[in-house]
Amino acid sequence: MNIARPLKMSAALLATAMLGACATKAPPYDYTAYNKAKPVTLLVMPPVNESPDVKGTPGVWAHATLPLAEAGYYVLPVTLVDEMLKQNGVQTANDAAELPTTKLREVFGADAAVYIRVKRYGTSYKIIDSETRVEVEGRLVDLKTGEVLWKGSAFASSAEQQQQNQGGPLGLLVAAVVKQIIGTATDASFNFAGIANRRLLTPQYNGVLPGPRSPNYGKDLQKP
């Protein structure tokens, strides 16, 4: 019994665990209603913002069109949807979320609506580092029946890509402060909202299904 053996074993275990993390999947989503509804045009509702940053709604809303359009759907122009809602006295995302689906169908003529909740949006200061993080939850709702066709969640964080900093504890603190200032000034959250939205709204295992304009329309992404 030498010392290398347990080491080797733990390495093997780690490798198995990593592969396991790679291969383990959540139980498959039930797409029965989604496949039956076959939505073509999507109305993205103003995201309901649960974060303290008021830019959560416009930041996430502006990034929702790209992944859904690339998924193969026609996405109603969000800026015109915003105008239309405001002109009709619907001033907030919370008010918009209360509108009956039949009314939305009548006004916008879309097949389904995408409701997004912004769970986190912004940069938080921590002793060693600051983190910019955006978390979103999404729901696709059939505007004819009011039925939920799909739901999911995703996040994106600056902590994912940070490398080890140098310069000792003081250097770290300075870097964190500088980063926070830059982070808020250039609207770092907006960029992370883009990543979070792509993760949420791109067709994948248990994700939204490819739409009619996608070359993958009708393909089953649940199979490996």
Partner 1 sequence: MSRRFLSRLGSLAAVTLLCTACAANRGPAPLYMWDTFPTQQYRALLREGASPEEQLQALQVHAEKAKAANAALPPGFRAHLGMLHLNLGNAAEARNQWEAEKAAFPESAPFMDSLLKKLTATEKTLKSEKPA
Residues ≥6 apart with Cβ < 8 Å to 177: 125, 130
Q: Does 122 contact partner 1 by CB under 8 A?
A: no
Q: Which two tokens stand for residue 122?
A: 């912004």
Q: Does 65 contact partner 1 by CB under 8 A?
A: yes
Residues 151 and 138: beta-carbon distance below 8 Å: yes
Number of residues that bind partner 1 (CB under 8 A): 45
First-residue to last-residue Cα distance in the chain: 42
Q: Does 8 contact partner 1 by CB under 8 A?
A: yes
Residues 42 and 76: beta-carbon distance below 8 Å: yes
Q: Is the CB of 7 or the CB of 128 nearer to partner 1?
A: 7
**x/- contact string, 187-206, with partner 1 (CB under 8 A)?**
---x---x-------xx---
Question: Minimum distance between the CB of residue 141 and partner 1, rounded to whole angstroms?
Answer: 17
Cα separation, 169 vs 26, whole angstroms:
40
Q: Residue 116: name the closest of 139, 84, 134, 135 by CA.
A: 139
Q: Which stretch binds partner 1 (CB under 8 A): 19-27, 115-123, 130-138, 167-175?
A: 19-27
Question: Minimum distance between the CB of residue 139 and partner 1, rounded to whole angstroms?
Answer: 21
Q: Please report where in the chains the tokens 């649960």 appear, as a residue.
A: 50
116, HSE (Cβ side, Cα atoms, 13 Å): 35
Q: Does 62 contact partner 1 by CB under 8 A?
A: yes
Q: Which stretch binds partner 1 (CB under 8 A): 51-59, 125-133, 146-154, 162-170?
A: 51-59
Residues 160 and 50: beta-carbon distance below 8 Å: no
- Using CB under 8 A as the criterion, which residues of the chain lie in contact with partner 1 when the complex forms? 4, 8, 11-12, 15, 18-19, 22-23, 40-41, 55, 57-59, 61-63, 65-66, 69-70, 72-80, 82-83, 107-110, 190, 194, 202-203, 213-216
